[in-house]
Homo-oligomer: A and B are copies of this chain.
Amino acid sequence: MSKVLRWGIVGCGDISHDFVRAMNHSQRPNKVIAVAASKKERAEAFRGKTNLSNDVKAYGSYDELFADKEVDVVYIGVVNNLHIDVSLKAVKAGKAVLCEKPIGANVKETKKLFDAAEQAKVFLMEATWSRFFPAYQRLRQIINDKSLGKVKTASVLFAGKLPANRFCVELNQTPINDIGSYAVQFALFAFGERPEKVVFDGGKREDGCDLWGTFNLHFSGGRFAVVSYSSDDYGPSNGVVTFDDGYVEFPKQFWSPDTLKLVKGTNEPVLEKFPLPEYEGYNYGNSAGLSYEADHVYDTIAAGKTQSDIHSHDESLKTLEILDEARRVLGVKYTVD
């Protein structure tokens, strides 16, 4: 298939910058044809900053971009608390949508969006970019071919020093949906099923924001995952999946890995490398990997599907169900709850 997929970029912040830049490494005929910010000057400045040509349209409102008939799919990189409303507008305008994570702050608002997308019969996916990294696909292969036997556990501690503006209950933005969601999706990816039971424990600050959390996810056959996040420190953030006969580790940055460590039984580890096309010049670590996600969107839309077979609506909801329950236990209430 040779048809170009024409992208509109909505929101001109750091993550949109990285997405546009990563698109240079896309293996599919993806093309950015428009960008939109709340002010036209911002959109124009963003176009310059990301080295997009002046042929790329710069819009001063999201609605103008949604009205552009040439745009096939929009990438939504606006601030988290606007994800739902902006995505809903895009869907209603008939656009395919890739919306940054977390796509919604809770199950309730996210389901409404998913329903709207299904009704409009448009592609919609939460941008859980981790899952499209070649290292994740390799892990999926090892799980499926059972070369290490059955998955027994998944574990990760995602420790990061989050800036002050990422702690804001009023904007439905606290560490649990920011970095906790990465830990949870990792476990769900490893097991590929809904947990039978979730046990959550965590701690919060005086201002009502969560500070850390641990999710024990009980899966079928007495198997479990223990995934945690901590938001005021530094950590290695390696992710591990153990099996009957060995284990697989993403030795660093489990959410965007370029290396997979494979260990059979007590043998020496074998490192498999999946180097990124480039590392420098991005706002966030390993952002060049956003190209894998863009390629997956291309393939899914090209196949005429409205949901990803790697990160479906139900996959997003599985994570949110767990986060909602955890926040209930901890007493972290969002405005949209």
Contacts and interface: CB of A to CB of B under 8 A. Distances in A.
A173 interface: no
A31 to B, nearest CB: 34
A66 interface: no
A201 interface: yes
Given A222-B211, A228-B226, A234 B159 contact: no
A245 B159 CA distance: 12
A250 B180 CA distance: 24
Q: How many copies does the complex hold?
A: 2
A211 B153 CA distance: 12
* Interface residues of A, dominant DSSP: strand
Contact of A233 (B152, B201, B218): B152
A238 B265 CA distance: 16
A75 interface: no
A244 B232 CA distance: 7
B243 A234 contact: yes
Interface in A193-240: 199, 201, 203, 205, 211-212, 214, 216, 218, 222, 224, 226, 228, 230, 232-236, 238, 240
A46 interface: no
Nearest to A228: B226
B263 A234 contact: yes
A268 to B, nearest CB: 11
Contact of A201 (B199, B203, B244): B199
Contact of A240 (B152, B224, B236): B236
A5 B155 CA distance: 45
A218 B230 CA distance: 13
Contacts of A119: none
A145 B118 CA distance: 58
A80 interface: no
A242 interface: yes
A233 B199 CA distance: 22
A70 to B, nearest CB: 41
Contact of A234 (B212, B218, B247): B247
B214 A233 contact: no
Q: Which 7 A-B pairs have the closest CB atoms?
A: A152-B233, A233-B242, A155-B157, A201-B216, A235-B242, A199-B201, A214-B226
Interface of A: 152-153, 155, 157, 159, 199, 201, 203, 205, 211-212, 214, 216, 218, 222, 224, 226, 228, 230, 232-236, 238, 240, 242-247, 249, 261, 263, 265-266
23 contacts: A152-B159, A152-B230, A152-B232, A152-B233, A153-B235, A155-B228, A157-B240, A159-B242, A201-B216, A203-B224, A211-B222, A212-B222, A212-B224, A214-B226, A226-B226, A234-B243, A234-B263, A234-B265, A235-B247, A236-B238, A236-B240, A236-B247, A236-B249
Given A205-B222, A233-B243, 8 more contacts: A153-B230, A155-B157, A155-B235, A203-B224, A226-B226, A233-B242, A234-B247, A236-B263
